[in-house]
Chains A and B, each alone.
Chain A
Amino acid sequence: MITSREKLTSYLILGPFALVLAFPFYWMLWTSFKTELDLYDINNVPFFFGHGSPTTKNYSFLFNETEYLTWVKNTAIVGVAVVAITLVLAVPAAYALARLSGRWGQSMGVGIFLTYLVPPTLLFLPLSYVISHFPVGGHAGLQDSLWSLVLVFPSFTVPFSTWLLMGFFKTIPRELEEAARVDGASRLRTLFQIVFPISLPGILTVIIFSFSLVVNDFVYALAFITTSDSKTISTGVFTELIRGDIFFWQALMAATLLPSIPLALLYNMFLDRFIAGFTGGAFR
């Protein structure tokens, strides 16, 4: 049993850390409801509201007078397309690596995972060279097109997701598949009717985390896309809502907070599965 002193120590460690680590988000929330007068009065206590605060006008400014909603829409389009491509490529590969191939499958899995360590830093210059030079479907190039991101993002979501899924597939008892095979089901049928339905939680986890990787990219979006109506939230908020020295701080904070909260909630819900898959790929 754990003593009450141990409990107290836990709170004494976790409390301050939780406060400091979450502080920027609290501060975003607070700032996003402030009026100009309130925000830029140096004699104010910044932790209180006053001078007409709290107000929701920063949010209506964000939605009605900036291209924020366009960026959100673009992010959703890219996210959905990337997740679809990722699933089509990663799910079969991960299953085959976990189940159909022996030792070389494990080595190859680790090999695929290592490509996840090749950072965008090394790749964005050659890729931007390719994307601006090679005509695709009548266009001069994919520069400034959302499709450039759809094409490039799977280069990190596929290795990452394959690795996670390998971990999940390994946890499915072999007996289930063998029973289906004895009953005369083909390998493909076993895959579609037994393996995939059981792996649904794992696949959902991969969807969430791939989407999160997409929203976290900054380098590719910055290098490939310069027109404001093709931007995603990752670069749009920073490059468009800050104009020269003019900062729309309240709207900025609203813009950064809004996508963060739902993503963080989903992230937290699937975290335990993520841990299981992430460490299960090789370390089991």
Chain B
Amino acid sequence: MATVAASGRTRRRRRNLLESRRFLATALIAPAVLFILVLVGGPLLLAMYLSLTDAVGGTLGGEWVGFDNFLNAWRDPNFRRALRNTLLFTIVSQAIVLLCAGLIAHALTRPIRGKWLLRFLIILPWAAPVPLSTIGWLWIYDSLFSVVNWVAKQLHLVDQFNPPQWLGDPTLALGAVISVHAWRIIPFAVVIFLAGLASIPSEVEDAAKVDGAVGLKKFWYVTLPLQLPIATVALLFGIVFTATDMTVVYILTQGGPFNSTQMLTSWAFFTGIRGGSLGEGAAVSLYLLPLLVVVAVLMLRFARKVEVT
């Protein structure tokens, strides 16, 4: 009898605990937060630790070497080029992305026939898995059977017998990598822009019309300022997706020819996994951290600003 009463009490207490907002919230959030701390926070700290040791693949441990890895990486011309390429690829491709995506999103807001199909085709590069679709580009930029070159030859734009080697020439390869980066991020930016355009209230449109704002004028004074916040979000994401992506470079050029298209990410991979120098590889990848911190701060500031308005 007494035990029944006691267990009833515990059950009631448990029930009350589950009804407490604070307790329930903590219980529901804790697993996800713990998981993230262990699998993101942990490795991030380990990366910082490894970067200060001479750890190599295949063995445990490594001697403390201070900032040697960072200094060695900095002195390496390949690293310098990887750093320069990371910035180059990101800036150029994102400039192309903003321009094209702005145009596309604006055109897509109009109610036209066949919009679903057009949108589907435009979204494809973002919706298809990048590790697979980039192989398609490998074929498009093939040294002998490049379809780009075939068309260019027919139009007499390039040398018939010595057409451009898109992936074999150091300068052209930079362009090839940039084109694929821009190609896959454009649809993402379009998606975000569409969300931004959809959030502009129709009253604003009407007011603009009454005030006689049309065409370019309306775009400049009404649409653009209202679009700016969401365009910033698209840009910040585009920067992160491009600067930290290894897939495109690895599949298209493997960083070649002669390491001319390495990015920080691919250089970290070749140093840390292929070369086995975990410590130095970790140091190379950590050079990305300042960029990511800047993006995160901007993102935070921005999220707060939007929340207030």
Instruction: Check if A and B associate.
Output: yes
B110 to chain A minimum Cβ distance, whole angstroms, is: 5
- A25 to B233 CA separation, bound complex (whole angstroms): 28
Would you call A127 and B43 a contact (CB within 8 A)?
A: yes
Contact flag A125-B18 (CB < 8 Å), given A14-B108, A108-B29? no
Closest to A23 in B: B140
A 105-129 binary contact with B (CB < 8 Å = 1; else 0): 1101010101101111111111111
In the complex, A96→B100 CA distance in Å? Answer: 39
Are A110 and B35 CB-contacts (below 8 A) given A46-B150, A122-B44, A234-B132?
no
User: B289 contacts the other chain (Cβ, under 8 Å)?
Assistant: yes
User: Which residues of chain A (226-284) have a CB below 8 Å from chain B?
Assistant: 233-235, 237-238, 249, 252-253, 255-256, 259-261, 263-265, 267-268, 271, 274-276, 278-279, 282-283
Report the bound CA distance from A124 to B266 in whole Å: 12
Interface size class of A (residues with CB under 8 A): 35 or more
Question: Nearest chain A CB to B102's CB is how many angstroms away?
Answer: 10
Secondary structure of the A contact surface, majority rule: helix
Among the listed B29, B36, B136, B289, which residue makes an inter-chain contact with A28, where contact means beta carbons less than 8 Å apart? B136
Task: Give A120 to B25 CA distance when docked, in angstroms.
Answer: 29
Residue B92, interface by CB 8 Å: no
Known: A126-B282, A130-B46, A132-B57. A263 touches B40 (CB 8 A): no
Complex CA–CA separation, A260 to B124 (angstroms):
8
Q: Who on chain A is nearest to B286 by CB? A: A122
9 A-B residue pairings within 8 Å (CB atoms): A89-B35, A100-B25, A117-B292, A119-B292, A129-B46, A130-B43, A252-B139, A260-B129, A261-B128
Minimum-distance CB pairs A-B, first 3: A119-B244, A93-B32, A260-B128
* A interface residues (Cβ-Cβ under 8 A, vs B): 2, 6-7, 9-11, 13-15, 17-19, 21-25, 27-28, 31, 39-40, 42, 46, 88-90, 92-93, 95-97, 100-101, 105-106, 108, 110, 112, 114-115, 117-130, 132-133, 151-152, 154-155, 158-159, 162, 186-188, 212, 215-219, 222-223, 233-235, 237-238, 249, 252-253, 255-256, 259-261, 263-265, 267-268, 271, 274-276, 278-279, 282-283
Other 5 A-B pairs with CB < 8 A, given A122-B43, A125-B285, A129-B278:
A21-B124, A93-B33, A101-B25, A238-B135, A260-B124
